[in-house]
Each structure stands twice: as structure tokens, then as C-alpha cells.
């Protein structure tokens, strides 16, 4: 922690902490679009973070810079992933992933907060970057709403937390993209979170998003629902984590409907970490460009050629290492096996496009963490302290993140 010269209320010092993360990884996939196999070595999830607080920690800063625009400008190889014009590759995030300021104020037994900046709308579950598997799930654009200009009001009393947010509907188009501020407030979301017992979190959320895939606002709207349960505790005396989520996105007034069910867990015993994820998600099959990993942008309803259902099992093993006092590593191996099925007809045929309807992927690499571990992205204000991050499961550290 770095203490700043200024003093907050009650003479509590202001503070700021920094951290950095990156994942060098080899990924091999069979098949890829038009058949065959492909292997790549990339540096993914390179991030620099700053957390700060002042005025008795009532004023808080969460900032995350993401450098994937430099390290994976053409995306990360991941069959099934899609969004922002990428298909079967995970798109690079924007350089300013989140910069959020929040102010908290107590009102009797309740606490309220106002948060503003660029970040996640109060909807769905945590950014997959802050969860144990390195492989991003297919449902990333159904289960989170990220990198928007957003204002969030939150209230917490006892075990109940309610958040509501206004934001711009348009998704980023490039890593250097900024939200289209002329569209700010055209979309909204709300999330209710309940903590019925220690270590257990239940959430339900809804969002209406105007024209997310057409920056000027002339595309179709989305109505989104999410529900999840998240548990962090111990199993046989060792840290454990489990999450189950359901998501549904309806587009073009229900003409297209996409469902997702995902369950994942991790268990760290000693230095050894095991993880597993099951996912079944429907995704749109969009018209491709000459590059089969890219789709037509801006996205319009007539760009959707069909719907596919992706059923993916991912298992992984990692071992935690401390390389220096502040530097930790978690070498890992992850294997995914999945199947692709066509849904509700359409012009897209998965078997002819990929050459088969089953696929494998292998990832070998290491999570690297310096200083501050990754936080639960998308939790601001009164939601920031609601649960421990995944430090034990994912950064290679044995300590939990505390201010």
C-alpha cells in the first residue's frame, strides 16, 4: 500500500495500491473454421491495476488498463467465443478496461453509493478474467455488459444489495474505442444480490440494451436476464469456489433468443489447484468476412445466419509458485472438449463449416501476478467488498486480497 499525503475524514490516510497480471500461453485447437487445426503462442490478459481510497475509504478508485490491443490485436484463439466482430476468437478488450470512482455514505443501518466512469454495468456475473479458468466462456457477451460509460446507484442493508445503472448501449469496435457519449443513458440494468448465509451469494439481474452491435444506434435491441449463485469457502480445509449461472438474451423483440447455462468450480489444496467448467450456450452465427474468424460489422439482424449450441467441458490443473517477494506464478494446463449443434434451422451448417461437430483445445501457460491480485471486476461502491476475490484460485498467491 502507498499512502498519499492527503488525509481523509477522521485523519484516516488516503491510500493506493498497484498490480499487474499477464498470461503467456500456448493454445492449440482442432478443428478451426474450414477445417484443420491451429496452434498459437500469445500473451493474453496483460493488465495493470490501481486501487485507491480516501476520506475514511468512502471515496474509492478502481482502475484497470488492458493491453490486449498490443498483444492480441487479432484476438485469442478460442473456438466458440464471439463478440465485437470476432468469431471463434476472443476479442481484445479496450485499453481502458475500467476506471470507476465511487462514493459511499451510510444511512442508519444501510449504506448507499454512487459510482461513475467506464466499466461494467450492474448485470450478471464477474468478468471471466477474474475467475479460475483461462479459457473465456462462450457466454461472455450474454453474462456481462462491459466497457461502457456508466453511472450506478447502489444500496445495501443487511444481506440485501440493490444496484441500478444507466449506460451507453454500443459495444467497443476497437481496443482504443471510447463509449459513444451521445448515446449515454439509452440503456439500463438492475441487479439484486442477496447473501443468505456466509460465503454464499445469489444474484438476479435484468438489462435493456439499445443497439449494442451498431455504434450509431440503428441495430436491434437486446433484453437480457441473468441469475447465479456463487460460493467461496473451504473444502477439507482448503480454499474452494463454485458458481452456477443461467443467462438469456432476447434480440429483435424476441425473434432471436439465446440461452446459456454454466457451472464452474476450483479447489486449491496446498500449492495444487484443480478446476472444472461445464457450459451449454447458444450463440448467433454471423456472416463471416474473407477472414473466417471475423464477422460483418456493424452487426444487423440479417447478418445472423443461424444459431448453434456449444456444449463445452473444461478441466485444468495448476501449481502455485512464488518467484519473488511480490511476484507469483501459476503454471497450468487446461483441456477443453466440446460439441457443436445447429439449432432452429437457418442457413448455417456447423459440420460443413468446421468439418466436424466436436472439437478439442489445449492451453499450456502460466498466470503471472505482481503486487495487487485481480479483483472482481464489475463490483463498485457498496458491491466492492461483498466477497473475496479469486486470489487463492487464480493468481498463484496464497493470500486473500485485502486493503
Contacts of 22 (CB under 8 A, 6+ apart): 43, 44, 45, 46, 47, 368
Give the Cβ contact number of residue 182 at 10 Å.
10
Which helix (H) or strand (E) covers residue 316, if one does?
Answer: strand 304-319
Q: What pLDDT score does 302 carry?
A: 65
- Nearest residue to 65 (alpha-carbon basis) of 93, 104, 41: 93
Q: Quote the pTM value.
A: 0.91
pLDDT given for residue 301 in this prediction: 63
**Residue 217 to residues 109, 178, 212, 298, 375, Cα–Cα distance (Å):** 42, 15, 8, 10, 32
Tens digit of pLDDT per residue, the chain (403 long)?
Answer: 554 444 344 456 899 999 999 999 999 999 999 999 999 999 999 999 999 999 999 999 999 999 999 999 999 999 999 999 999 999 999 999 999 999 999 999 999 999 999 999 999 999 999 999 999 999 999 999 999 999 999 999 999 999 999 999 999 999 999 999 999 999 999 999 999 999 999 999 999 999 998 899 988 999 999 999 999 999 989 999 999 999 999 998 888 999 999 999 999 999 999 999 999 999 999 999 999 999 988 776 667 899 999 999 999 999 999 888 889 999 999 999 999 999 987 889 999 999 999 999 999 999 999 999 989 999 999 999 875 555 444 554 444 333 3
Q: Is the dihedral of CA 95, 146, 62, 394 positive or negative?
A: negative
Fold for 2-394, please state it: Porin (2.40.160)
Residue 340 C-alpha cell reads as 457443436
What is the residue-wise DSSP string for 39-50? EEEEEEEEEEEE
Q: Which residues pair with 340 in a beta bridge?
A: 310
| CA proximity to 169, closest of 298, 329, 353, 357 | 298
pLDDT at 134: 97
Distance CA 41, CA 49 (A): 24
Helices (H), 133-266: 140-143
| DSSP code string of 231-299 | EEEEETTEEEEEEEEEEEEEETTTTEEEEEEEEEEEEEETTEEEEEEEEEEEEEEEPB-SSTTBB-SS-
Domain boundaries, the chain: 2-394
Amino acid at each position: 500500500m502507498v499512502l498519499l499525503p492527503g488525509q481523509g475524514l477522521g485523519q484516516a490516510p488516503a491510500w493506493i495500491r498497484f498490480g499487474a497480471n499477464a498470461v503467456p500461453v500456448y493454445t492449440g485447437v482442432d478443428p478451426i473454421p474450414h477445417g484443420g487445426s491451429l496452434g498459437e503462442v500469445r500473451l493474453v490478459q496483460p493488465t495493470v491495476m490501481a486501487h485507491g481510497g480516501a476520506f475514511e475509504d468512502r471515496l474509492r478508485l478502481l482502475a484497470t488498463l488492458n493491453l490486449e490491443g498490443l498483444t492480441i490485436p487479432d484476438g485469442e484463439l478460442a473456438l466458440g467465443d464471439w463478440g465485437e466482430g470476432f468469431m471463434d476468437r476472443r476479442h481484445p478488450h479496450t485499453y481502458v478496461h475500467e476506471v470507476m470512482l465511487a462514493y459511499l455514505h451510510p444511512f442508519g443501518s444501510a449504506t448507499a453509493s454512487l459510482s461513475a466512469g467506464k466499466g461494467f454495468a450492474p448485470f450478471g456475473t464477474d468478468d471471466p478474467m477474474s475467475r479460475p479458468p483461462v479459457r473465456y466462456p462462450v457466454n461472455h457477451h450474454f453474462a456481462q455488459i462491459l466497457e461502457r460509460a456508466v453511472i450506478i446507484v447502489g444500496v445495501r442493508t443487511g444481506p440485501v444489495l440493490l444496484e441500478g445503472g444507466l449506460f451507453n448501449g454500443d459495444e467497443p469496435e476497437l481496443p482504443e474505442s471510447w463509449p459513444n457519449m451521445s448515446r449515454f443513458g439509452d440503456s439500463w440494468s438492475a441487479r439484486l444480490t442477496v447473501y443468505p448465509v456466509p460465503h454464499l451469494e445469489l444474484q438476479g439481474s435484468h438489462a435493456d440494451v439499445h443497439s449494442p452491435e451498431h455504434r450509431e444506434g440503428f441495430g436491434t435491441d437486446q433484453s437480457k436476464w441473468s441469475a447465479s449463485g456463487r460460493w467461496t469457502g473451504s473444502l477439507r480445509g482448503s480454499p474452494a469456489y463454485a458458481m452456477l449461472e443461467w443467462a438469456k438474451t432476447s434480440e429483435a423483440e424476441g425473434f432471436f433468443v439465446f440461452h446459456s447455462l454454466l457451472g464452474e468450480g476450483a479447489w486449491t489444496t496446498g500449492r495444487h489447484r484443480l478446476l472444472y467448467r461445464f457450459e451449454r450456450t447458444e450463440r448467433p452465427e454471423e456472416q463471416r468476412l474473407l477472414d473466417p474468424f471475423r464477422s460483418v460489422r456493424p452487426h444487423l439482424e440479417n447478418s445472423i445466419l443461424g444459431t448453434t449450441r456449444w456444449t463445452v467441458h473444461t478441466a485444468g490443473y495448476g501449481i502455485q509458485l512464488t518467484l519473488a517477494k511480490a511476484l507469483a506464478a501459476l503454471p497450468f494446463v487446461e483441456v477443453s472438449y466440446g460439441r457443436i449443434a445447429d439449432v432452429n434451422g437457418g442457413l448455417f451448417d456447423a459440420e460443413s463449416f468446421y468439418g466436424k461437430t466436436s472439437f478439442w483445445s489445449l492451453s499450456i501457460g502460466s498466470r503471472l501476478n505482481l503486487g495487487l491480485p485481480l479483483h472482481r471486476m464489475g463490483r463498485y461502491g457498496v458491491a466492492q467488498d461483498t466477497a473475496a476475490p479469486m486470489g487463492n484460485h487464480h493468481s498463484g498467491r496464497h493470500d486473500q486480497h485485502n486493503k
